[in-house]
């Protein structure tokens, strides 16, 4: 493929690449932040888009679903595409497509056009994560790999967390198209820096033939799986014929895809890298990490806004210490790995920090405030920050430099699928747990219960002070009792969910026993 801007496409020497390695790291991280930010930024603008485009909630959901489905389809083939087109050209093309689609999304005047351009945006953004990670592993020497992953990790962790806050502020201060227009200046800067500084891979090799059949199977399998996860809770999962059809299609297509890729000579996704036990164990750990990361990002804002009554901006300010703690943990883990501290040990400490944070989350009450949230949120961010970079290094430790791009795509896909499965499961558990908790509380309420009678009397006195008289007082007092029960049931539901997130990640700890290599492999050193 010809360079997009030939004037900027001069050959770069290893010395020049090394001199600009931090510029390269910042460049690819900016692009990845934009891509991940757009996975969650639209959620808070849904009511505004529904009113502007005359769409129902079910219809507008495809604005999010279309983007994520396109995203996960491209992720696992990003390494193959980078080899076919050239890594720098592919990365630049992905940013260009993402930026143009962002402008088109903001300018959309119909639901159909918005969904179409969101899919295009997802196709552009899907290749950024794996390609960025592969670039950093090759550009930085092993001694500085931790620093590179720390910079990259800040973007990976911050993007999804900041999406709702940034989206809420832009929607309130301006209008919903600005959640897409905000991508334009950053996309242009990332594109120019990519063309100036990001190098091609020194070991890229085009495939002898294109595995079209594998590509079709992958698109069908991942696309239907992600759509099922996005819509399953809404349609009561396998009680719906649509969800059953999507599930069966996903299983058949992905099973057939795995068999085909292991047998074909030029696979579009080389699954043979999963024969490495450390890589496979890291994939499962990444799946669990992605699940708890996205679940907490999804659940805490819901908790803060629906139960505590905070605005999107206030919620974002409460989450800010989490992001700061994550940044500190990423920098600390980078230094520790460089000094020879076991990556497995750091992952272990990070997991324990996260589990303890979830135990503290489990003790939130309806009376909790900012002071109660601070340390649990800090520990949550610190724990996840400690896990991210060492786990990345453990995953890639035994990969040859030729396989880094392919392995990175599979690794990032696994983490994102973990997030999708986690959110879908958490949403379903939330509904069922809230119902069961409400039933449990109602069982302990009776007309003869002293605390119930006292609370009822307090509500009646309060209503009388507000000017209510007659039989209406009793009815309204009972309604207030019901609202109190609903609130407490929701609180207990959130507490159990937070605790389950900690237990889930703790279940991944035995996988560390399968990881023998301490950290970043020397076989990727090109310097």
List of residues 6+ apart from 40 with CB closer than 8 A: 160, 163, 164, 167, 297
Alpha carbons 129 and 34: distance in angstroms, whole number: 11
Q: What is the pLDDT of residue 16?
A: 77
List of residues 6+ apart from 106 with CB closer than 8 A: 177, 178, 179, 180, 181
Q: Is residue 411 part of a domain?
A: yes
Exposure string over 339-378, b if 16+ CB within 10 A, otherwise e: eebbbbebbbbbbbbbbebbebbbebeeebeeeebeebbb
Domain limits at 124? 1-207
Alpha carbons 247 and 302: distance in angstroms, whole number: 28
Q: Is residue 268 part of a domain?
A: no
Q: Is residue 242 part of a domain?
A: no
**CATH number, domain at 114?**
1.20.1250.20
Q: Is residue 217 part of a domain?
A: no
Q: Looking at the structure, tell me whether residues 304 and 166 fall in a common domain.
A: no
The one-character DSSP state at 198 is P
SS3 298: helix
Alpha carbons 114 and 65: distance in angstroms, whole number: 12
Q: What is the pLDDT of residue 92?
A: 92
Q: Looking at the structure, tell me whether residues 304 and 187 fall in a common domain.
A: no
Q: Looking at the structure, tell me whether residues 312 and 172 fall in a common domain.
A: no
Q: Is residue 246 part of a domain?
A: no
The reported pTM is: 0.77
**156, 181, 207: which is the final residue of a domain?**
207
Alpha carbons 261 and 443: distance in angstroms, whole number: 55
Q: Is residue 308 part of a domain?
A: yes
Q: Is residue 247 part of a domain?
A: no
Q: Looking at the structure, tell me whether residues 194 and 299 fall in a common domain.
A: no
Output the CA–CA distances (angstroms, integers) from residue 309 to 302, 313, 321, 326, in the order listed: 10, 12, 20, 26
Q: What is the pLDDT of residue 98?
A: 93
**207, 241, 268: which is the final residue of a domain?**
207
Q: In the chain, how many domains are there?
A: 2
Q: Looking at the structure, tell me whether residues 301 and 189 fall in a common domain.
A: no
Q: Is residue 362 part of a domain?
A: yes
The pLDDT profile of the chain, 527 residues, written as one tens digit per residue, is 444 444 444 446 677 777 788 888 888 888 888 887 777 777 667 767 777 788 776 677 777 777 877 887 887 787 778 888 888 888 999 999 999 999 999 888 888 898 899 989 988 888 887 788 778 878 888 777 777 777 777 777 666 667 767 777 777 778 888 888 988 999 999 999 998 888 877 666 666 667 788 888 888 888 888 788 877 777 778 788 888 998 899 899 989 988 988 888 778 777 888 888 898 999 999 999 988 888 887 777 777 777 777 776 677 677 778 878 888 888 888 888 878 888 899 999 999 999 999 999 888 877 777 778 888 889 998 998 899 888 988 888 888 777 777 788 788 888 888 887 887 788 778 878 887 877 776 666 655 565 665 666 666 566 656 666 566 666 666 666 667 777 778 888 888 889 999 999 999 999 998 887 655 544 444 44
Residue in the block written with tokens 């993007």: 159
**156, 191, 207: which is the final residue of a domain?**
207
Q: Looking at the structure, tell me whether residues 481 and 334 fall in a common domain.
A: yes
Alpha carbons 268 and 521: distance in angstroms, whole number: 25
CB 64 within 8 A of CB 111: no
Q: What is the pLDDT of residue 396?
A: 83
């Amino acid at each position: 493929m010809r360079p997009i801007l030939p004037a900027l496409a001069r050959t770069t020497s290893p010395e020049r690449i090394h001199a600009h390695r931090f510029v390269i790291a910042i460049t690819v991280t900016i692009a990845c932040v934009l891509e991940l930010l757009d996975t969650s930024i639209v959620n808070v603008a849904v009511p505004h888009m529904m009113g502007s485009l005359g769409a129902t909630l079910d219809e507008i959901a495809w604005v999010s679903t279309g983007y994520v489905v396109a995203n996960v389809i491209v992720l696992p083939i990003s390494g193959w595409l980078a080899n076919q087109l050239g890594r720098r050209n592919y990365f630049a093309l992905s940013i260009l497509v993402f930026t143009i689609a962002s402008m088109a999304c903001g300018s959309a005047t119909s639901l159909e056009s918005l969904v179409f351009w969101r899919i295009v945006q997802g196709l552009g953004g899907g290749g950024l994560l794996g390609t960025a990670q592969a670039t950093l592993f090759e550009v930085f020497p092993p001694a500085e790999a931790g620093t590179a992953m720390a910079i990259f990790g800040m973007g990976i962790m911050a993007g999804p967390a900041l999406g709702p806050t940034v989206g809420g502020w832009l929607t309130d201060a301006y209008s919903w198209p600005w959640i897409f227009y905000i991508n334009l200046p950053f996309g242009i800067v990332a594109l120019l820096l990519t063309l100036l500084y990001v190098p091609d891979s020194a070991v890229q090799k085009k495939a002898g033939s294109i595995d079209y059949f594998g590509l079709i199977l992958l698109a069908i399998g991942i696309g239907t799986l992600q759509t099922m996860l996005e819509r399953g809770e809404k349609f009561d999962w396998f009680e719906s014929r649509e969800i059953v059809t999507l599930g069966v299609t996903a299983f058949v297509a992905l099973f057939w895809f795995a068999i085909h890729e292991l047998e074909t000579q030029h696979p579009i996704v080389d699954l043979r890298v999963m024969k490495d036990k450390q890589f496979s164990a890291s994939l499962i750990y990444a799946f669990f990490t992605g699940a708890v990361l996205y679940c907490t990002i999804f659940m805490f804002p819901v908790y803060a806004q629906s139960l505590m009554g905070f605005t999107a901006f206030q919620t974002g300010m409460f989450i800010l210490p989490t992001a700061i703690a994550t940044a500190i943990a990423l920098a600390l883990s980078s230094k520790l790995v460089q000094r020879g501290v076991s990556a497995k040990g750091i992952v272990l400490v990070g997991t324990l920090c996260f589990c303890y944070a979830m135990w503290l989350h489990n003790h939130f009450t309806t009376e909790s405030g900012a002071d109660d949230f601070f340390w649990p949120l800090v520990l949550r961010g610190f724990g996840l920050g400690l896990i991210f970079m060492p786990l990345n290094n453990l995953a890639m430790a035994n990969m040859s430099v030729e396989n880094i791009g392919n392995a990175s795509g599979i690794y990032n896909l696994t983490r994102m699928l973990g997030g999708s499965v986690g959110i879908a499961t958490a949403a379903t558990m939330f509904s069922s747990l809230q119902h069961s908790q409400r039933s449990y509380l109602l069982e302990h309420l009776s007309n003869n219960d002293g605390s119930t009678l006292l609370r009822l009397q307090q509500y009646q006195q309060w209503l009388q002070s507000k000017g209510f008289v007659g039989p209406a007082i009793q009815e309204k007092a009972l309604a207030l009792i019901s609202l109190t029960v609903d609130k407490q049931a929701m609180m207990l539901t959130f507490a159990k969910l937070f605790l389950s997130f900690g237990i889930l990640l703790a279940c991944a700890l035995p996988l560390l026993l399968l990881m023998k290599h301490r950290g970043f492999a020397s076989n990727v050193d090109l310097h």
